Structure 1
Amino acid sequence: MTSMVARQKTAMTRQSLSRPLATAIGDGIVHAGVTVFDYGCGRGGDLRRLADLDIACSGWDPAHLPSAPRVEADIVNLGYVLNVIEDPGEREQTLTQAWALARDALIVSARLTWDSRGLTGRAVGDGFLTSAGTFQKFYTQHELRAWIESVLQAPTLAAGPGIMYVFRDPATAQSLLIERVRRASRPPEPWISAQLLFQHQDLLAPLVEFLTARGRLPRGEELPQADAIKRRLGSIARAHAIITSAGPEKWVQLRHHHSENLLVYAALALFDGRPRFTHLSPPVRNDIREFFGTYKQWCARADRLLVSAGRQDLVDLALCASPVGKLTPSALYVHTSALGQLPPLLRVLEGCAQTFVGSVPGSNLIKLHRGQPVVSYLTYPTFDSDAHPTLSASVVVNLRKLTIDLRDYRTLENPPLLHRKEEFLSSDHPDRPKYERLTVSERRHGLYDNPELIGNQNGWVAAVRRSGVEIRGHRLYRARTSPTIQ
């Protein structure tokens, strides 16, 4: 069969960095301090773009760069190579060879089953021979991860749809997982008084930064500036009292915020084997002691939370009680910026979906379905700039069936559309007042009188036209005139 397959035709001419490497840069896996080897680099587009970012890189490709040496690197990228190899034995050998070159991590990507839509050709072996003479093996997300783990016997982490990280050190995977949890939630606003900033700003800034980052007092040698603070103020405890006197409730809120983050992380870490206490970094060990007393108590609480996330009745109660998001009869919709303000039960549910699918590029709304363990990642590319953005794509993760499905809305003549954007945001989001003012104007002019007619673009455009108004930016105007009617 090999003679029938034109593998060289699958190499793409890229105008931007490939999705696997762009994802790895976003996750901090690839940066200027590491070396990268692109195993199956095609025409070398990624190599040129990595070099532009001052990232040391090299590559090899059997068709386009066959004479280049295959060398070890901190990070090896195996980007969309496995799915074009028609021989399962060679496919496994290629994965093993790429892994042997990776000192720290291997990035593996392959095409998923949704990529087969619209292709013409015929089934060959465990894949598909296209009309262009190329072979494609399409994977499910679960199949790809399970196969990689069975071949390499190494810990993996889903980085995105069809993208997996494989790590030499299991602790690296855990560090990335906890960073995901922290990225999804921001700490409360600083509680420092103006007087404190004037009197002790330079001295206490490192302590304020530590308290904000971890929600507790530093231990041991965690704060290099501790001795200077003690000499000036007597003790770290006194410095802490000065800081929190400006808003003690903020301090309580901050501690609660960090303890919830740890609990969500521990629940999600169970999927890939929760690390032993001694395998955690010293700061995280101190966090656990501070907020939970012992590692055993931390794990027990996380286990209970994870079990609760599997009970649909408790999930539905949490959806109804959520302080953020727009609740409908079928789901709760929340902007990604507000994920950290969801109840821990819902954060674990969404985290389970992300553990399975990884980060979904471009998604900015999360849909948590009621009555079933399904999480959808919705992409509205113009959410920030357009008062009423249309849906571009959705990735639907079914946690019961362990499936993911891509739905593309870009070609629809009448795509779904958003209004009342403020309902998806947290109460302290800086754009919320602007969105609220527009909604008030729209409601005053009857645009929401028939909600069943305005869920799609055509219905909304017709309603706006009937009302004799037009929307520019996030303001309402009389049609064909400039004065506002807000």
Structure 2
Amino acid sequence: MTTIGPTARHKTAMVRSSLSRPMGLALADGIIERETTVFDYGCGRGGDIRHLQGLGFSASGWDPAHRPNAEMISSNVVNLGYVVNVIEDPIERAQVLKSAWSLTRNVLVVSARLIWEARELAGRRVGDGILTRMGTFQKFYDQSELAAWIESVLEVKPLAAAPGVFYVFRDEADQQDFLANRVYQYRPRIIIDPHEEYERNRENLAPLFDFLTAHARPPKRGELTVEAEACVLDASGTLGRAVNLIYQVTDDSHWERVRIQRRSELLVYAAMSRFGRKPRFSQLGPTLRRDIKLHFGTYRDLTNQGDRLLAAVGNRMMVLMSARSSELGKQTPSALYIHRSALGELSPILQVYEGCARVLVGVVEHANMVKLSLTEPQVSYLSYPTFDTEAHPTLESGVVVNLQNLSASYRDYRQSSNPPILHRKEEFLGSESPNRIKYGRLTRSEILEGLYKDPSAIGTRQGWQRVLQQHQVEVRGHRLYRRSSRPD
């Protein structure tokens, strides 16, 4: 291995106008909460510290170049943000990871740059990374390589938060709660009967209503926040009376659908939890234990069913049959496409199929479409930024996860002169999406005009424009017009 002299690590510190990606994810995922203390290990110029403090959080940090005299403080959450990738010595790299972990009370957030980010970087190969023209070192990781390295150093299996970002939990119960909450959820639409007392107390009862909807059971004492419980008691006097009031203004069939949905979510969680060491029932949080006991009776029954579900995902015919029988998503000869907002409505086997890819890469930010391949074990996360505003949005980027070789690759279409586009947007959405009617109306107009006669001709922006030109029509908003006509 080539010996590397001192590198200009201080030059990699960025001036941030907003929270860094790892800290933004941790905040969105509930890793950072109101009472959480945060320590930024290798904080650079301190941008994350200032932004977190501005949001009211307790945050501090240390950096060898910019804050060398700052105190190393043990904290609930420790951020090791894009630090390990700038350290040229593998032994020092591991020592820094261990040092950050030693300060961590609850969750360590580790992030590093991925291989696909190196494509436009100028420099020369040295050691296991690249020495840039600025004199800085960059080690680029494969997603699975980064996960394996973290586990080998800390002897704890990390959870992928997003591409290049991992969470390492101290407490098993916290990790399992996080996994359970990460299952995509679907909440059936509900009709509330008119009731004067309920309407008068609707806002105060909202936390209780949300709990019933999420867990398909009333809460035990302490499962609502102190503030939420006070609001409920103020509205109805007792928790039991408040629960009865909610049941009084809603239909029993709705809560039966909620119960079925919660069972499905727990099954998906049980299947996904098998990617790590199976936790003991006593290691689960109290709310999760109560849900399992109510909906499955025993933990063994849940885990046995979860194991069977995970095994079914490995059977290509089972996945194919489940996809072909799905009433949601757009069917193609080789895949099922679905909007991310509708994933919770898929069958458990398809949710676990997608979940296997999420175990590897985490949540791909900005990806609003998911492609479940039916010809190979592969899931793609696709970004169509203008999905909600354009009738035929273009593909901007995608992350492709191959479950056979545990690899992830990035595809960028932003510079393409002829990117892929979408049609029939209503097919991607959930059953109760309010936009299905609007999108479906446009699709019917386009079919009647004959625009879909040759599907191979309209899959890209240029091809679609040629077909529109041939038929002398144009799409404005989500309506089809003759070129000579004008909207009312």
TM-score for the superposition, normalised by structure 2: 0.91
Hey, what does 1:46 align to over in structure 2?
Answer: 48
Contact 1:338 1:425 in 2 (8 A): yes
User: What is the Cα deviation at residue 194 of structure 1?
Assistant: 2.5
Hey, what does 1:278 align to over in structure 2?
Answer: 282
Alpha-carbon RMSD: 2.7
| Correspondent of 1:364 among 361, 368, 390 | 368
- Bigger mean CA deviation after superposition, 255-264 or 56-65: 56-65
CA distance in 2: counterparts of 1:236 and 1:60, whole angstroms? 49
User: What is the Cα deviation at residue 477 of structure 1?
Assistant: 2.7
Aligned partner letter, 1:27: D
Hey, what does 1:94 align to over in structure 2?
Answer: 96
Hey, what does 1:410 align to over in structure 2?
Answer: 414
CA-to-aligned-CA distance 1:423-452 (integer Å, 9 cap, x gap)? 100121011111111212222222222221
TM-score for the superposition, normalised by structure 1: 0.91
Aligned partner letter, 1:430: P
Contact 1:323 1:341 in 2 (8 A): no
Aligned partner letter, 1:277: F
User: What is the Cα deviation at residue 359 of structure 1?
Assistant: 0.8
CA distance in 2: counterparts of 1:11 and 1:435, whole angstroms? 46
- In the TM superposition, 1:133-282 aligns within 5 A as 133-181=135-183, 184-195=184-195, 208-217=209-218, 242=248, 247-282=251-286
Contact 2:37 2:57 in 1 (8 A): yes
Where 1:400 maps in the other structure, the secondary structure is: coil
Hey, what does 1:30 align to over in structure 2?
Answer: 32
Aligned partner letter, 2:356: C
Hey, what does 1:390 align to over in structure 2?
Answer: 394
Matched, 1:65 2:67: yes
Contact 1:229 1:235 in 2 (8 A): no
- Bigger mean CA deviation after superposition, 472-481 or 445-454: 472-481
CA distance in 2: counterparts of 1:31 and 1:287, whole angstroms? 24
- Bigger mean CA deviation after superposition, 189-198 or 447-456: 189-198
- Bigger mean CA deviation after superposition, 308-317 or 274-283: 274-283
| Correspondent of 2:336 among 319, 325, 332 | 332
CA distance in 1: counterparts of 2:33 and 2:452, whole angstroms? 48
User: What is the Cα deviation at residue 310 of structure 1?
Assistant: 1.1
Hey, what does 1:80 align to over in structure 2?
Answer: 82
Change (3 A) 1:145 1:458: same
CA-to-aligned-CA distance 1:245-273 (integer Å, 9 cap, x gap)? x5333222111100000110011011122
User: What is the Cα deviation at residue 237 of structure 1?
Assistant: 9.5
Hey, what does 1:449 align to over in structure 2?
Answer: 453
Aligned partner letter, 1:258: R
CA distance in 2: counterparts of 1:322 and 1:14, whole angstroms? 45
Contact 1:233 1:239 in 2 (8 A): no
Change (3 A) 1:232 1:380: closer
- Bigger mean CA deviation after superposition, 408-417 or 66-75: 66-75
User: What is the Cα deviation at residue 155 of structure 1?
Assistant: 4.0
CA distance in 1: counterparts of 2:239 and 2:285, whole angstroms? 30
Hey, what does 2:134 align to over in structure 1?
Answer: 132
Change (3 A) 1:199 1:408: closer
Aligned residue-pair number: 480
User: What is the Cα deviation at residue 146 of structure 1?
Assistant: 1.4
Where 1:347 maps in the other structure, the secondary structure is: helix
CA distance in 2: counterparts of 1:417 and 1:235, whole angstroms? 53
Hey, what does 1:311 align to over in structure 2?
Answer: 315
CA distance in 2: counterparts of 1:30 and 1:233, whole angstroms? 29
- In the TM superposition, 1:405-444 aligns within 5 A as 405-444=409-448
User: What is the Cα deviation at residue 400 of structure 1?
Assistant: 1.1
Where 1:406 maps in the other structure, the secondary structure is: strand
Where 1:3 maps in the other structure, the secondary structure is: coil
Where 1:194 maps in the other structure, the secondary structure is: coil
Hey, what does 1:379 align to over in structure 2?
Answer: 383
Gaps of 5+ in 1: none
- Bigger mean CA deviation after superposition, 97-106 or 295-304: 97-106
Where 2:182 maps in the other structure, the secondary structure is: helix
Change (3 A) 1:220 1:12: closer
CA distance in 2: counterparts of 1:206 and 1:123, whole angstroms? 55
- In the TM superposition, 1:15-26 aligns within 5 A as 15-26=17-28
User: What is the Cα deviation at residue 356 of structure 1?
Assistant: 1.2
User: What is the Cα deviation at residue 219 of structure 1?
Assistant: 5.8
CA distance in 2: counterparts of 1:231 and 1:60, whole angstroms? 50
Where 2:5 maps in the other structure, the secondary structure is: helix
Change (3 A) 1:229 1:291: farther
Where 1:376 maps in the other structure, the secondary structure is: strand
- In the TM superposition, 1:345-356 aligns within 5 A as 345-356=349-360
